[in-house]
Structure 1
Amino acid sequence: MNIEISEVANLPSRFGNFNVKAFKEGEKEHLVVYAKKLDAIPLVRVHSECLTGDAIGSLKCDCRDQLEYALSLIDKEGGMVIYLRQEGRNIGLLNKINAYALQDKGLNTIEANHQLGFAADERTYEVVTYILEYFNIKKINLLTNNPDKMNSIKDIEIVNRVPVIITPNEFNSGYLDTKRDEMGHLL
């Protein structure tokens, strides 16, 4: 992999005081937010970009809640969030908004992706292994509900899966049901 890596910078936030480092993979620039001290087996959240949820606060998904939960937990227990630039399960912002429009007409998240010519989930996780190896991390406690993430992270031992429990709302309960029932998420 040809990856360009930034310097380390300090990132004080409302969740805690973290270090940050960017990893540029082609056109995608991923961010690692991590505790000042990393344990031998750190808590790790692999989070895919969700502009509408993470930045705007959309209630259609649980992305922002998961990210905020992870950052709060990492502040308390140590570890890192690997923020992957894979908007809309890696179909991009334009296609994600088109998928939202199809969902407004009654399709679920998977049906909308298929209607647009995409798989249910187009994300990849090779860069996660690269990032963890860069930090000399061989074992992690993975903060996830997604079994595909667990199966896609190679050459790193996942000691424990730590669930991310988020309270559904009236706008995302169907989305969460689809993730559980059709994508196998452990909700």
Structure 2
Amino acid sequence: MTEIQERHADAIGPTVRTPGVKRVVDLDLSTKYGEFRAVGYLDLERGDEQVALIHGDVGGREETLTRLHSECLTGDAFGSTHCECGDQLSMALRAIVAEGHGVLVYLRGHEGRGIGLLAKLRAMRLQAEGLDTVEANLALGLPVDARDYGVAARMLHDLGVPSVRLLSNNPRKREALESHGVEVTEQVPLLIPPREQNISYLRTKRERMDHHLPHLDAVAHWS
């Protein structure tokens, strides 16, 4: 192993054979938020290509600040104000860099809470017509939330991360990680100031999907 390879291995922990995922590539990735290691995986069960962004030394580190970020093309890439996904992605990366170490697992195949891009766009059209995000999925004959976080847990195991402080408002993510053997010592809120365009969407997440969004009380006057 070369000196560079040894440095990378030390930063992300020992490579182990983790059932269900295959580590394919890792490289340095400079971003506007800071310096990261991008570690690419193949999900051997579903065929999806996944990536973890790692800042600092996380191998064997307890209580690593971690974000499981579900893919959202409209929010992450296009800056849609229908959701808060793009802002959450930016805030999570900034928080990880400020912490000095951490992991963001970017989960492909999670578009529209797992229903896919085109179905999500159809659901958004129904929401524009008056349905909430839960009703829209059900009207299309689709599950409210079809996401599976097993691959995220397997990636964290492979990276040598035994426990996390989870950047999320969603209790399901915590439950999923713990069910796959990743200890969650704290759930760290990731609260984005709401907009008039997404307040209804956010209220539905709080009232019907149990997301912890106490900051919405400050805008109770919005219709």
TM bracket, shorter-chain basis: over 0.9
Offset at residue 14 of structure 1 (A): 0.6
Candidates 43, 52, 55, aligned match of 2:77:
55
* RMSD of aligned Cα (Å): 1.0
1:6-42 deviations in Å (ceiling 9; x for gaps): 2211110011110001111133111101113224321
CA deviation string 1:43-70 (max 9, x = no partner): 0000000000000000000000111000
Q: Which amino acid aligns with 2:189?
A: P
TM-score, with length taken from structure 1: 0.97
Aligned to 2:57, the other structure's residue is in SS state coil
1:36 match: 56
Give SS of 1:20's match: strand
Per the normalisation by structure 2, the TM-score is: 0.81
Three-state SS of the structure 2 residue aligned to 1:53 is helix
Runs of 4+ in 1 over 3 A off after TM superposition: none
Structure 1: gaps (5+ residues): none
| CA displacement, residues 72-93 of structure 1 (integer Å, 9 cap, x when unaligned) | 0011112010000111101000
Amino acid at match of 1:127: V
Is 1:4 paired with 2:27? no
Equivalent pairs counted in the alignment come to 187
- Partner Cα separation in structure 2 for residue 46 and residue 31 of structure 1: 11
Residue equivalent to 1:97: 121
- Give the unaligned 5+ runs of structure 2: 1-18, 214-223
What is the CA–CA distance in structure 2 between the aligned matches of 1:60 and 1:18, rounded to whole Å?
29
**1:49-128 residue pairs with structure 2 within 5 A?**
49-77=71-99, 78-85=101-108, 86-128=110-152
Matched-pair identity in %: 40
Encode CA deviations 1:88-116: one digit per residue, 9 max, x unaligned: 10100010011011111111111010011
Q: Distance in 1 between matches of 2:144 and 2:38?
A: 31
